[in-house]
Structure 1
Amino acid sequence: MKTWNGASVIVINNNKLLIVKSKSEQKWSIPTGGIEKEETSEEAAIREVFEETGYTITILNHIKTLSKLVKEYKVTVDYFLGEVHSGEMLNNDPDDEIEEIKWITISEYDDIDWMYPEDEIFIKSYIKPGGQYV
């Protein structure tokens, strides 16, 4: 069985969530990508956010690791909470897979067509009652 290891980041700034839209799927997700050889999952998370959005982030903490089977792959994804410390919105994706980047408010959250439904529920758990992200 093949394996794929990745990293995903929940990035919050001014009570808005950073999301990216896939060209091929035409759906939204948090910044996510594969871990390259000789790279830690945290390094991959930081690199992927920069490539997909133009922002440089600081990892605040590791949230969880998700493992599942997807077709012929054993997929393992490390999830992090990150904070922007510099940069500007810019698509630097070397895979040319990102169509759009945007920040969404909590009121826009349920209107998004999410690529990974299991992430949608999980990410929403980071919203405080009263409309702020944790």
Structure 2
Amino acid sequence: MDSWSGSAGICINEHKEILMIKGFDSEGWAVPSGGIEKGESPEECCVREVKEETGYDVKVIEQLKLKETTIKGIQVKTYYFKVEKIGESSGINNPDRIIAEADWKSISEIKAIRHTYPEDLIFLLEQLERL
């Protein structure tokens, strides 16, 4: 069976908002994430993807969870990391040109928006409640 591994960054700012992105071809929002490249650790992938998709430099604080699922016959593993932003955004620099927007979302917005991965909603709210 084919497999894919990726990393996602959960970045929460001082206003208790989560950094999220939206693609051009999607109505849904998601946390920044992407595939792990050859020779890259899950942590390195997370830092690179958050930078490409949001413009923020981040540092990994801890691994929060590993999501394992099967999508269209492909085994998918996604590592979720809590990350902390360093400085301000330098703007989206997404080589695939698939990211339309990056924005900070509050608890009320997170409950209201459409999610690309609806199964992540409870998990995101739990992260905010931990603060």
TM-score, with length taken from structure 2: 0.94
Give the secondary-structure state (helix, strand or coil) at the position aligned to 2:12.
Answer: strand
1:58-69 mapped onto 2 (5 Å cutoff): 58-69=59-70
Residue 114 of structure 1 and its aligned partner are, at CA, apart by 0.4
Match of 2:10 in 1: 10
| Residue range with higher mean Cα deviation, 37-46 or 114-123 | 114-123
Q: Report the AA paired with residue 11 of structure 1.
A: C
Match of 1:54 in 2: 55
Give the secondary-structure state (helix, strand or coil) at the position aligned to 2:84.
Answer: strand
Match of 1:41 in 2: 42
Richer in strand (by share): 1
Match of 2:120 in 1: 119
Identity %: 37
The question of whether the paired residues in 2 share the 8 Å contact of 1:89 and 1:101 is answered with no
Give the secondary-structure state (helix, strand or coil) at the position aligned to 1:37.
Answer: coil
Residue 89 of structure 1 and its aligned partner are, at CA, apart by 5.2
Partners in 1 of 2:55 and 2:31 — Cα distance? 14
Give the secondary-structure state (helix, strand or coil) at the position aligned to 1:6.
Answer: strand
- Superposition misfits of 4+ residues, deviation over 2 angstroms: none
Q: Which residues of structure 1 form unaligned runs of 5+?
A: none
Q: Which residues of structure 2 form unaligned runs of 5+?
A: none
Match of 1:78 in 2: 79
Residue 66 of structure 1 and its aligned partner are, at CA, apart by 1.1
Partners in 2 of 1:58 and 1:34 — Cα distance? 18
Partners in 2 of 1:107 and 1:67 — Cα distance? 28
Residue 59 of structure 1 and its aligned partner are, at CA, apart by 0.6
Give the secondary-structure state (helix, strand or coil) at the position aligned to 2:115.
Answer: coil
Partners in 2 of 1:24 and 1:72 — Cα distance? 23
After superposition, give the CA deviation of every residue in 1:84-129 in whole Å (9 maximum; x if it has no partner): 012315110101111111011122121111000111111111122x
Q: Report the AA paired with residue 84 of structure 1.
A: K
After superposition, give the CA deviation of every residue in 1:28-75 in whole Å (9 maximum; x if it has no partner): 000010000000000000000000000000111001111110002100
Residue 110 (structure 1) aligned with residue 111 (structure 2): yes
Give the secondary-structure state (helix, strand or coil) at the position aligned to 1:47.
Answer: helix
